[in-house]
Amino acid sequence: MLGTYGYAAPEYVETGHLTSQSDIWSFGVVLYEILTGRRTVERNRPAAEQKLLYWVKQFPVDSSRFSMIIDPRLRNEYSIKAARQIAKLADSCLNKNAKERPAMTQVVASLKQIIQDLEGGSNSTNKNIAESSQSSLFRRRQNKVCPCIIFNSLARAKTLPYFSD
């Protein structure tokens, strides 16, 4: 498939067959793109930083160096706890064993929970969360950044077959 370099799941590269689990892998890549503000491949960077997934592996989620991967355009106005949770979710999507990756419904549930936790556990509806952040990549809430673009993308994609319960 043309143009998918960096998003292709290992099993797709090996067999040429796409599955919903291949999509989960690709979504894990997208989550890291959002966290880092980088593309999957950036040839203008030093060799060790050109491939996004290889680069982020150098900064494990639970390490003190993790914050070094966060998009610098956020200027430290984000929740490190939420960023770590999203990175852990991305890592689960990027499991080499396709059978061990979460279902998209689990990914959606995890992202909803992260957003709810950022909002102090409020019971706002998902629709209200999505509507309140329509035009921005990140929404400020109590001086923290909420990655609502992820939720908005999921809300629009909910009609896809693997999103249903």
Radius of gyration from C-alpha coordinates of the chain: 16
* Each residue's pLDDT tens digit, 24-34: 999 999 999 99
The domain of 148 spans 18-158
Among 74-88, 93-107, 112-126, 140-154, the range scoring the smallest mean pLDDT is 140-154
Q: Is position 8 within any domain?
A: no
8-state DSSP, 70: S
- Between the two ends of the chain, the Cα-to-Cα distance in Å is 29
Distance in angstroms (rounded) separating the CA atoms of residues 24 and 74: 26
Which spans in the chain are helix H? 10-15, 20-36, 52-56, 80-93, 104-118, 126-131, 148-157
* 3-class DSSP state of 96: coil
Q: Is position 129 within any domain?
A: yes
* Each residue's pLDDT tens digit, 117-165: 988 854 444 444 444 433 333 444 444 444 554 544 444 444 444 444 4
Q: Which residues have a Cβ under 8 Å from the Cβ of 143 and sit 6 or more positions away?
A: 77
User: How many domains does the chain contain in total?
Assistant: 1
Q: Is position 6 within any domain?
A: no
Residue 108: exposure state from Cβ atoms within 10 A (0-12, 13-18, ≥19): buried
Say which CATH number the domain at 49 has.
1.10.510.10
Q: Is position 29 within any domain?
A: yes
Predicted TM-score of the model (pTM): 0.74
- The structure tokens 């900064």 sit at 59
Give CA separation, 17 vs 26, 61, 85, 102, 127, in Å.
14, 31, 30, 19, 35
Q: Is position 79 within any domain?
A: yes
Q: Is position 118 within any domain?
A: yes
The alpha carbon of 51 is separated from its chain's Cα centroid by a whole number of angstroms, namely 16
Instruction: Band the pLDDT of 83: cuts 50, 70, 90.
Output: very high
